[in-house]
Amino acid sequence: VWLAPNPLAPETVQTTLLWCGRPTRTTGIKAAVVLYGDFARSLATRLVYSGFQVVVGSRNPKRCAGLFPSAAEVTAQADAANKTDVIFVAVFREHYSTLCDLTDVLAGKILVDVSNNTEINHHKESNAEYLASLFPACTVVKGFNVISAWTLQTGPRDGNKQVLICCDNQEAKRTVAEIAQVMGFTPVDMGSLSSACEIENIPLRLLPAWKIPVFLALGLFLCFYTYNFIRQVLHPYIWEQKNKFYKIPVEVINSTLPCVAYVMLSRLSTRGPGRLLPAALWHKVQTLSRLARPVAAAQKADWPSEFFCAALHAVYSLCLPMRRSHRYQLINAAVKQSHANLEEEVWRMEIYVSFGIMALGLLSLLAITSLPSIANSLNWREFSFIQVNQHPTHLTFGWTRAFDENQYKFYLPPSYTLTLLVPCTVILAKIFFHLPCIHQRLRRIRNGWEKGRYVKFTLPSATGEYSSGESSSNV
């Protein structure tokens, strides 16, 4: 095992080697080497539990003896290096030069680079490629850098089971894959060593698929919150001289959250070109395709964001009757309204709450099935049925208020009326694309038909002469 210097105390930690002999299982792998620190101890422990005979080599074996399991033998660094065939190198890139003293010992060995960068590498030489340039007599394999020390301690049950591996040598790649498989992980072949840069960037990314949904949700929230603030707070204060700023913490937010959730839900109705436009037709418009590709790739993460807004809306709605101002409004409304109007209001709210509960249940199903671990267990028909056909509706709150002129404050329509624009556009577009004349043509495009590609041929005439013609048959 190669023990890397601890960045917190580089002057007190010594470089160490750990060697893993032939495992008790029949794998054909003779040795493995890991690094120093929490990852080293976790990896050594995992190798011992996986049946490997682990030997630790250190410049100070007595000091490092207590850091590793009792089943691991601690010995000198040179002795461990001479016995090993596979070495896991976890030294920082700037400390690779410290390994040059063991160039002769490491010649012909497999070096597994498990290091990561402190920042994302943008089109620069990867750590694995740099290590390969320093040791041309060795075979460098990139792997195990996406596995954390916690995953190694608890096993693959409680962590990511995939070990991404890349190398230019197929035999060395297969050897490291066998080690990962014996340890209980799933090796994934990522190709040649040129893929190491991408693998090293994976642990540094913070929820890359969530950036677009989060920023979209925040943008929609700010827009609808400002809109509702103008209608519900600013308008009464200017026109009626009423102070309703108490609505800012709860009621305005509660009016904003369903608008955000429903607009994002309507956007998901067009997720993937095949929803609103068939893929074949979408890819014909190359400019739109390039612009929409990153957006479509991130839309799978929209479901948790939408479910989060809908769940908050449900909690806020349950808290509305707890406010003292709301109780006063109920008493005043009960005194002023007639029995007929009150009954209509009751029906409106009952249907609104009922649809809201069903919508939240369906959204929870959509959010759960969008998780990678759940989505991977579904076939395409199951996933498509849940994701496409289970879009709930929750717009009965508006009732007839959309046609009441008193609801248009500052000549601005209610927010739930604005949210109808996107879903209505999507519904009309879907109806248009499902018309028989349009649907048949789109189906032909999906099957590879392209307009304007004809077969030219020559037909013989009755006199024996040939006349050129053009067939309308598609290639």
Confidence grade of residue 396 (pLDDT, cut at 50, 70, 90): low
Confidence grade of residue 124 (pLDDT, cut at 50, 70, 90): confident
pLDDT at 62 over 50: yes
Lowest mean pLDDT among 216-230, 249-263, 283-297, 315-329: 283-297
Confidence grade of residue 82 (pLDDT, cut at 50, 70, 90): confident
Report the alpha-carbon distance of residue 45 to residue 67 in Å, rounded. Answer: 10
Tell me, rounded to whole angstroms, the distance of Cα 217 from its chain centroid. Answer: 16
pTM of the model: 0.64
- What percentage of residues in the chain have a pLDDT greater than 90? 17
Report the alpha-carbon distance of residue 37 to residue 68 in Å, rounded. Answer: 10
pLDDT at 285 over 60: no
Lowest mean pLDDT among 101-110, 303-312, 434-443, 444-453: 444-453
Q: What is the mean pLDDT of residues 261-277?
A: 61
* Angle made by CA atoms 374, 377, 381, in degrees to the nearest 5: 105
Report the alpha-carbon distance of residue 182 to residue 170 in Å, rounded. Answer: 18
Report the alpha-carbon distance of residue 271 to residue 277 in Å, rounded. Answer: 10
Lowest mean pLDDT among 44-48, 107-111, 127-131, 246-250: 44-48
Report the alpha-carbon distance of residue 87 to residue 31 in Å, rounded. Answer: 8
pLDDT of residue 439: 82
SS3 labels along 5-34:
CCCCCCCCCCCEEEEEECCCCCCCCCCCCC
Instruction: Look at residues 81, 193, 189 and name the one whose alpha carbon lies nearest to residue 131.
Output: 193
Helices 211-229 & 251-268 angle (0-180, nearest 10): 140
Tell me, rounded to whole angstroms, the distance of Cα 204 from its chain centroid. Answer: 14
pLDDT of residue 388: 62
Inter-residue contact 391 to 269 (CB < 8 Å): yes
pLDDT at 270 over 80: no
* Angle made by CA atoms 34, 89, 206, in degrees to the nearest 5: 95
The CATH number that domain 16-204 falls under is: 3.40.50.720
Q: What is the mean pLDDT of residues 151-178?
A: 85
| 105 three-state secondary structure | helix
Report the alpha-carbon distance of residue 19 to residue 420 in Å, rounded. Answer: 65
pLDDT at 97 over 90: no
Q: What is the mean pLDDT of residues 397-426?
A: 77
pLDDT of residue 474: 41
CB atoms within 10 A of CB 86: 23
Close Cβ partners of 470 (under 8 Å, ≥ 6 residues apart): 454, 455, 456
pLDDT at 267 over 70: no
pLDDT at 17 over 80: no
Question: Residue 293 burial (CB < 10 Å; 0-12/13-18/19+)?
Answer: exposed
Average pLDDT over the chain, rounded to an integer: 75
pLDDT at 156 over 60: yes
Inter-residue contact 426 to 266 (CB < 8 Å): yes
Question: Residue 143 burial (CB < 10 Å; 0-12/13-18/19+)?
Answer: buried
